[in-house]
Structure 1
């Protein structure tokens, strides 16, 4: 599909040193785009950019550091001359347990990184380029923002808020800037290790498609959403979870095998 060609376009991907962010950067580069990868350290940003290759560059910028974010936007425009795509991928989850047992520091860090950072970066790129020239923003949310789970309620609340903000921004920045989100299920990343590492077989078996996600599964969807193939899509949250949000698939499979 010609609409998936990103040649001549430039993207910033936050939190791109590994996992979903790195896979997204590779997918955008493979479609012809220039990519700027951010990470908290310059060393990890450079290593990720080297892995992507081509014109990719790495910039040290903690997601909630406004000065570093401004510098990243400026460097991107100086280097490539445009800033057409923003993928707000940086995320964190320092809290575990019931919400009322969390302290303010964990609450603030969770919402700063998972919600304020996408607002910050989207505002910067809109004012610097996209507001006049157009562009596409994708936020990395989670199916956790659409459901309820024990012990990660604060994280899920931040992702639920991000889904809401995605829709709000889609309206506020229309018609020049499209704003969408992806909601991954359990994906093979370091951030999500607690959800799959010790019981991957059970998690995979319960999903309709029989496996946990890979970063590339999410990256393909993001590359679509920022391309012209998705030019009439905004304010949407694309669930990419192998059917996990549907519930446990095992009873349905067993029923089919028994001819029920």
Structure 2
């Protein structure tokens, strides 16, 4: 990390959803390293508390992180998180919509429709609701930057997780619409990772990681840090003239012929 970016989020507060582990925690780590204070959310309080302890340790003991446990699609939880962020840190300058679920696997003709509705509720509707909450509470007046975490499957067919990909394609569209509606004060962008080595994606690579990596021109799968660096860029002043874009972070695999 260069000296120019080391504290670029000094005095800024970020909400990162789904951040007790994996990509979300990686993003929170990067934002703290760049000087931000973070409010992290997830369902399990114990995991969140451990993540907060870890983030504070990274900051040398400075109280730069707090957690609010709850379900991402619960508007009361969202409101509590927003209120807590402002009461504790005084602002909400950055939002990362990282929460996503994929409880269904298999062809669309066998899709559990109730599960599909829940996927859309969490991956799409909740993302819009989080934006509404932070916009009304802070960003409408003070401005800010938002990043939505999508997936490579939103732009490239992914057998057996197709509905998850479809929900992320909707999120990409929402990113574009929000960018138009919220400019010029608020920028909205997205990232679309391929397979990143997390518990969420474990079924896609565990036991055959080296083989899976051969499909990628860079010959490796992603790490949370790979995503976190791009998210930090999109939230930063370095991306001041960038909005409505969803950036592929995929080790080049989208350039290949696929299966």
Provide the TM-score with structure 2 as the length reference: 0.93
Which structure has the greater CA radius of gyration? 1
User: What secondary structure sits across from 1:11 in the alignment?
Assistant: strand
Tell me what 2:13 maps to: 10
Q: CA deviation at 1:194?
A: 1.4
Tell me what 1:41 maps to: 44
1:163 to 172, 190, 199: 172
Matched, 1:206 2:215: yes
Tell me what 1:104 maps to: 113
Matched, 1:146 2:155: yes
Q: CA deviation at 1:3?
A: 5.9
CA distance in 1, matches of 2:28, 2:77: 19
Tell me what 2:253 maps to: 244
Q: CA deviation at 1:248?
A: 5.5
CA distance in 1, matches of 2:196, 2:147: 18
Tell me what 1:62 maps to: 71
Structure 2, unpaired ranges of 5+: 57-61
Structure 1, unpaired ranges of 5+: 250-260
Runs ≥4 residues deviating over 3 A? 1-4
Q: State the Cα deviation string for residues 45-72 of structure 1 (Å, max 9, x = none).
A: 1111111113111111210010011000
Q: State the Cα deviation string for residues 161-219 of structure 1 (Å, max 9, x = none).
A: 00011000000111111000000011001111111112211111120101000000000
Tell me what 2:125 maps to: 116
Tell me what 2:59 maps to: none
User: What secondary structure sits across from 1:139 in the alignment?
Assistant: strand
CA RMSD of superposed structures (Å): 1.3
Contact 1:61 1:72 in 2 (8 A): no
Q: CA deviation at 1:145?
A: 0.1
CA distance in 1, matches of 2:5, 2:211: 38
Question: How many aligned residue pairs are there?
Answer: 249
Q: CA deviation at 1:103?
A: 1.7
Provide the TM-score with structure 1 as the length reference: 0.93
CA distance in 1, matches of 2:81, 2:231: 21
User: What secondary structure sits across from 2:214 in the alignment?
Assistant: helix
Tell me what 1:258 maps to: none
1:129 to 121, 126, 138: 138
Contact 1:208 1:243 in 2 (8 A): yes
